[in-house]
Amino acid sequence: MKKLISLICVASLLLGLVGCDKQPGNTASNGEYQPPRKTSTYAIVVKDRNNQYMQSMISGFQAACDELGVNAISNGPDTPSAAEQVEIINDLIEKEVSVIAIAANDAEALSPSLQIAIDRGIKVVSLDSAVAASGRQLHIQQARPKKVGRVLIQAAAEIIEGSGKLAVLSSTENAPNQNDWIKWMKAEYDENPDKYAGIEWTEIVYGNDDSELSQAKTRELLEKYGEELKIIIAPTVVGMEAAAKVITETGSNTKLTGLGLPSQMSKYFTSDDGICPWMYLWNVIDAGYLAAYAAHALESGEIKGDPTDVFMAGRLGAKVVDDAEDGGYEVLLGDPIKVDKKNILIWESAY
C-alpha cells in the first residue's frame, strides 16, 4: 500500500501536481519546489511578554510559521492584563491577520472580541491558558488539567511524606490555566481524605506572575506559618523561581514543587534533598509550534475543528481534535513531564 502511495506521489510530482510534498508550497512548471508566498499573517498573543515561558512559546510558534511559509507576529502586555489583551486583539482584527493564537489572562473577558475576530474569518485558537469555548475554535492543551492538578498535589504529599502544612503560590486570580489546575489539586485533596489526612491545605496566594510580588508573597507565607509550612506548590514558572529564591535566601526548610522552567530552576536541583526534589512541565516550544499548525489546519480547510478531526502538525506528527473539559474542543500536546535532578540538564538548554 505504502509503495502504491509513493508511486502516486512521484507520478503526481512528475506531472507537476501538488499535494504530495509535506511542506505547503507549489511546484513550478519546471518541477522545482517553490516556497509559498507569505500572504497570511499569524499572530500569537501571550499573557505577558516579560515571562521567559511565553518567549519560548513564541519561538515554537515562529518556527512552525517559518515551516508553513506564513508571517508570524507576536504581542502581549507587559503584565498579565486581560484588558490590554482585548486592545491587542482589536488591533489585530483591524490589521486583518489570518490567525490569532492567544494565551488568555481571563477566560470570559476576551471572548466578545475574539468572537468578532471569528465572525470576520480570522481563525482563533487559544494555547497554554484557555479562552472560553465561545471565543475560540480550538484550544491547544499542553496536558490534561486534571492530570496536572492531581500530579502536583500527589508530588507535594510524597515530598513531605504525608504530613505538614501546604500553601499554593499562583499567578493571577483570574488565570484560566492556574485556576483549572488548582481546582483539580483541590479535588484530589478533598476526594482522598485518608491519603491527605496529615496535610493541611492552608491558602492560595497570588503573585501575578510578577517576580517581586511573588517573592513578597513567599516571604509572607514563610513568616506566617514558619517551620510548619512544609511545602509550597507554585503552578507558575514565575512563582517557582521566586519561591526558590526566597526559600534559599532565608534558609527555610520549606520544600517546593510545581511547574517550573528547567533553565530557571536547574541551580536549585543540585542535591537530592534540595528545596525542590522534582517538578513538572511540558515542552513549551512544542505548545507554540502545535498552535500554529492547528491554526493552519483550520485556515487551509484541512480540518473544521470538530472532534476526531485529524491534521498533520509538522515534526509532531498527526494530531486529533478532542472534546475539552470546558465544553469546547481542544488538541492535546501530551502528558506533564516530571523534571528531576537527573533529567533537568537535558531540558535546561531548551527552555
Segment 180-219, which members bind ligand RAM (CB under 6 A)?
Answer: 209
DSSP conformation class of 335? P
Can you tell me which of 98, 129, 179, 254 binds ligand RAM, judged by CB under 6 A?
A: 129
Interacting residues of 343 by C-beta distance below 8 A, sequence separation 6+: none
Based on the shown chain and the rule CB under 6 A, indicate whether residue 264 belongs to the binding site for ligand RAM: no
For ligand RAM, the closer of residues 68 and 125 by Cβ is 125
| Alpha-carbon gap, residue 193 to 195, rounded angstroms | 6
Contact 319, 311 (CB under 8 A): yes
Can you tell me which of 27, 40, 51, 214 binds ligand RAM, judged by CB under 6 A?
A: 51
From the list 87-95, 231-239, 242-250, 302-310, the region that binds ligand RAM by CB under 6 A is 231-239
Burial label, 14 (beta-carbon count in 10 A; 0-12, 13-18, 19+): exposed
233 three-class SS: strand
| Alpha-carbon gap, residue 151 to 338, rounded angstroms | 9
| Alpha-carbon gap, residue 324 to 52, rounded angstroms | 27
Based on the shown chain and the rule CB under 6 A, indicate whether residue 144 belongs to the binding site for ligand RAM: no
Based on the shown chain and the rule CB under 6 A, indicate whether residue 236 belongs to the binding site for ligand RAM: yes
Q: Measured from the CB of residue 202, what is the shortest distance to ligand RAM in angstroms?
A: 21
What is the residue whose three cell numbers read 506533564? 336
Supply φ then ψ for residue 253, to 5 degrees: -90, 0
Q: Measured from the CB of residue 1, what is the shortest distance to ligand RAM in angstroms?
A: 41
Based on the shown chain and the rule CB under 6 A, indicate whether residue 75 belongs to the binding site for ligand RAM: no
Can you tell me which of 101, 242, 259, 265 binds ligand RAM, judged by CB under 6 A?
A: 259
From the list 46-54, 221-229, 293-301, 337-345, the region that binds ligand RAM by CB under 6 A is 46-54
From the list 21-29, 112-120, 211-219, 234-242, the region that binds ligand RAM by CB under 6 A is 234-242
- Maximum CA extent, the chain: 75
Residue ranges binding ligand RAM (CB under 6 A): 47, 51, 53, 103, 128-129, 171, 177, 209, 236-238, 259
